[in-house]
Chains A and B, each alone.
Chain A
Amino acid sequence: MIQLGVIVVYLMLLVGLGLSANRLFRGTAKDYMLASHSIGPFLLLMSLFGTTMTAFALVGSTGRANVMGAGVYGLLASASGIVHSLCFFLIGVPLWSLGRRHGYTTQIQFFRDRLESNLIGYLLFPILVFLVVGYLMVGVLGGGAVVETVTAGTFSGVDWLSSSGYGVPSEIASAVICCVVLTYVFYGGMRGTAWANAFQTSVFMVLGVVTFFVIAKAIGGADNLFENLAIASKQVPEIQLARQKIPKPVFFSFLLIPLSVGMFPHIFQHWLTARSANAFKLPIIIHPIFVMIVWVPCVLLGIWASGPASGIPAATSENAILATLVQSHAGPVLAGLLTAGILAAIMSSLDSQFLCVGTMFTQDILLHNRSGEHLNEQQIVRAARYFVVAVVGVTYLLSLILPRSVFDLGLWSFTGFTGLFPLVFAAIYWRRLTAAGAIGGVLTVLVAWSVLFWRSDFGANPRYGFPEAPVNLGVATLPPLHPVVSIFVASAIAIIAISLITRPPSEKTLAKFFRK
C-alpha cells in the first residue's frame, strides 16, 4: 500500500506542476504549442533527453538485456549517443532556423512549403499519427506493466484482482497514467510539458542511479560497493556478458534506428521551442553522456536479473524485469519512489507526443483546409485537446488488444520514422528534391513497412529479418538484416529516382530554402 501511496502522491505533484505552468500561459496557440520560442539550453537539453528516453529506454532495455545480454548497450545506446546528436545538429538546427524564419509549428508545414504540395501534408499526417500511436503504446503498456508488478499483493484478498497478482491491474494503471499526462499537458501546454520533462528527467536520472545501487547491494549482500557489483556480475551466465546472442548483421542494422529522431514530430516541436540556435549546443554535447547514465545501469540490471542471486523467476516477462527487481529488492517507500522514477521517464515522452498530435491536427488539417478559420485561439486549443483525447483513447484500446514487448513495439515505430529520414534530409540539403519524389518515398515506406510488419507476424517475431534467407550476390552473401535497412534504402532510392525524372521545384522556393 505504501508503494501505491508514493506513486499517487507523485502523480498529483505532476498535475500540480501543469496547473502552475497554466498560470504563465499567455492564452495564445503559439504559446500553448511552442512556449513562445522561449526555451533555453538547459531546459532544451532536459526536454529533448526526457522525450527521447521512454519506457523503451528503461523497461525495454532492462528486459532486452535480460534476454540478449550486455551487447544491448552497443546495439542502441552508444549508437543513439552518436546519431541522436547528429540529427540535432544536421536536422534540428536547420529546421529550427527555417521554422523561425517562416513561422512553422509542425513538420508538415515545412514539407508543404518546401515541396509546393498540399498532398504531401495529407499523406504524411495519417502516417505520422499512426507511427506516433505505435510509440505511445510503448509508454502506455510499459507504465501499466510497471505499476501492476510493483503493487502486486497490495490488495490481497480482493478476488477480482487475482489475475493481476492482487496489484493495480495494468489496464487501470495505464488509463490513470494517460489521464494524468493529459491533464498537465492540457493545462500547461508546451511550457508545462517542458517543465514537467525537466522535473521528470531529473527524477528518473537520480532515482535510476539509486535503484542501481540498492539492487546491487541486495544481490551482492556485501558492505563494499565494488564487491557488490562484482558479485552481481559474476553470478551471471557467461554468454550474457558477451554478444553472441546478437547476430552481427543485426548489430550493424541497428545503427539506422536512432535516425528516427530526425523525423519524430514531437522532437521537431521541441526543437522549435528553442530560444536561439546556440541553445542546441548543450543538448548536442551532453546527450551521449545522459544516454550513458541511464542505459548502463539498466543494461547491468537486465543481465544481473538472469543470474540466480537476483531471485527473478526465469519465466518473468521482458516488460516486468525492471519492476520485479525493484519490488523484490527495495523497501516499500523506496520501491514507490523508484517506480515514480520509472513512470517519470515514461510520462516525459507521452506528454510531448500528446501535445504534438494535437498541434498537427489543428495546424495541418483544421487550419490548413480553412475549416477552422472562424475559430478563435481558445477554440483552436480546445480542438487540439479533443483530437488528443481521441488519439489517446485509440492508443489505449490498441494496447489492450495488441499487447507486445515494449522493445519490439518501439522498434517497429522507430523503423517507420527511420524510413522517412531520407525525406527530411533531402528536403534540407538537396535542391533537386521534388514533391513527386517525396510522395514516392513516403508511399514506398508505407508499402514496405506494412508488408514487412505483416511478414513479422505483426511484430510478434522479434528475430524477423529481411531478406528472409541469405541471398548470394556472387561476390558476397547478403545476410538477413533488420527490416529498417530495407525500408531506409527503398525510401532513399525512390526519393532520388523519382525526383531526378520529375520537374525541379521553382527558383522562388529554392531561394527561400537554400543559400546561394
Chain B
Amino acid sequence: MKYAVWILVGLLLVFHQDYWQWSNTTLDFGFLPRTLTYHVGVSIAAAIVWALATKFCWPEGLDEESEHSSQEDAGA
C-alpha cells in the first residue's frame, strides 16, 4: 500500500499537467471555467492522497524517539 500511495502522488503531478484542455473555455455549472473545475478536482484529490499517505506511509516511532533523546539530553 505504501508504494501505491507514492505512485498516486506521482500521478497527481502527472495529471496536474493537463495540456489537453489548454483552450477549453467551457463554463461548468454556468460559472466555473473548466480549467478551474479540473484543478479544484486536483486539489481535492491531493487532500485524499495525503490522507492515505499519513495512514499508510507515516514513519513510526518518531515521537517516542524524540522524547527519549530529549530526556537523554536533559539527563546529560
Q: Which residues of A contact B (CB under 8 A)?
A: 69-71, 73-74, 77-79, 81-82, 85-86, 89, 93-94, 96-97, 100-103, 226, 229-230, 232-234, 238-239, 241-244, 248, 251-252, 255, 276-278, 281, 284-289, 291-292, 296, 299-300, 303
Please give me the residue from chain A that is nearest to B18 by CB atom.
A74
B32 at the interface (CB under 8 A from A): yes
Please name all residues of chain A whose beta carbon is closer than 8 Å to the beta carbon of B27 when the two chains form the complex: 230, 233-234, 241
CB pair B46 A288 closer than 8 Å: yes
B47 at the interface (CB under 8 A from A): yes
Please name all residues of chain A whose beta carbon is closer than 8 Å to the beta carbon of B46 when the two chains form the complex: 78, 81-82, 85, 288
With contacts A100-B69, A242-B23 known, is A292 near B63, CB below 8 A?
no
Shortest beta-carbon distance from A145 to chain B in Å: 25
A100: contacting residue among B36, B40, B66, CB under 8 A: B66
Binary interface profile of B, 21-65, with partner A (CB < 8 Å = 1, else 0)? 011111101111111101110111011001101100111001101
Please give me the residue from chain A that is nearest to B17 by CB atom.
A252
With contacts A248-B19, A285-B50 known, is A299 near B62, CB below 8 A?
no
CB pair B30 A226 closer than 8 Å: yes
CB pair A230 B31 closer than 8 Å: yes
Please give me the residue from chain B that is nearest to A279 by CB atom.
B63
A101: contacting residue among B32, B34, B43, B65, CB under 8 A: B65
Please give me the residue from chain A that is nearest to B29 by CB atom.
A226
Please name all residues of chain B whose beta carbon is closer than 8 Å to the beta carbon of A248 when the two chains form the complex: 19, 22
With contacts A78-B42, A241-B25 known, is A89 near B35, CB below 8 A?
no
Alpha-carbon distance between A281 and B54 when the two chains are bound, in angstroms: 6
CB pair B35 A74 closer than 8 Å: yes
A242: contacting residue among B31, B33, B40, B63, CB under 8 A: B33
Alpha-carbon distance between A248 and B43 when the two chains are bound, in angstroms: 20
B33: contacting residue among A70, A102, A288, CB under 8 A: A70
Shortest beta-carbon distance from B62 to chain A in Å: 4
With contacts A101-B70, A277-B59 known, is A89 near B53, CB below 8 A?
yes
B16 at the interface (CB under 8 A from A): yes
Please give me the residue from chain B that is nearest to A288 by CB atom.
B46
9 contacts between A and B (CB under 8 A): A74-B16, A74-B39, A82-B46, A94-B59, A229-B29, A233-B27, A242-B23, A244-B22, A292-B44
Shortest beta-carbon distance from B40 to chain A in Å: 6
CB pair B54 A291 closer than 8 Å: no
Please give me the residue from chain A that is nearest to B42 by CB atom.
A78
Alpha-carbon distance between A303 and B31 when the two chains are bound, in angstroms: 11
With contacts A77-B43, A101-B65, A242-B24 known, is A229 near B31, CB below 8 A?
yes
Shortest beta-carbon distance from B68 to chain A in Å: 9
Please name all residues of chain B whose beta carbon is closer than 8 Å to the beta carbon of A101 when the two chains form the complex: 65-66, 69-70
Alpha-carbon distance between A331 and B51 when the two chains are bound, in angstroms: 41
In the A-B complex, the 5 residue pairs with the smallest Cβ-Cβ separation, listed nearest first, are A229-B31, A100-B66, A277-B62, A101-B69, A230-B30
CB pair B9 A86 closer than 8 Å: yes
CB pair A242 B25 closer than 8 Å: yes
Shortest beta-carbon distance from A335 to chain B in Å: 24
Alpha-carbon distance between A94 and B57 when the two chains are bound, in angstroms: 13
Please name all residues of chain B whose beta carbon is closer than 8 Å to the beta carbon of A255 when the two chains form the complex: 13, 16-17
CB pair B69 A73 closer than 8 Å: no
B30, B46, B63: residue with the most chain A Cβ atoms closer than 10 Å: B46
Alpha-carbon distance between A299 and B33 when the two chains are bound, in angstroms: 10
A296: contacting residue among B40, B42, B65, CB under 8 A: B40
B39, B42, B62, B73: residue with the most chain A Cβ atoms closer than 10 Å: B39
CB pair B17 A251 closer than 8 Å: yes
Alpha-carbon distance between A291 and B59 when the two chains are bound, in angstroms: 26
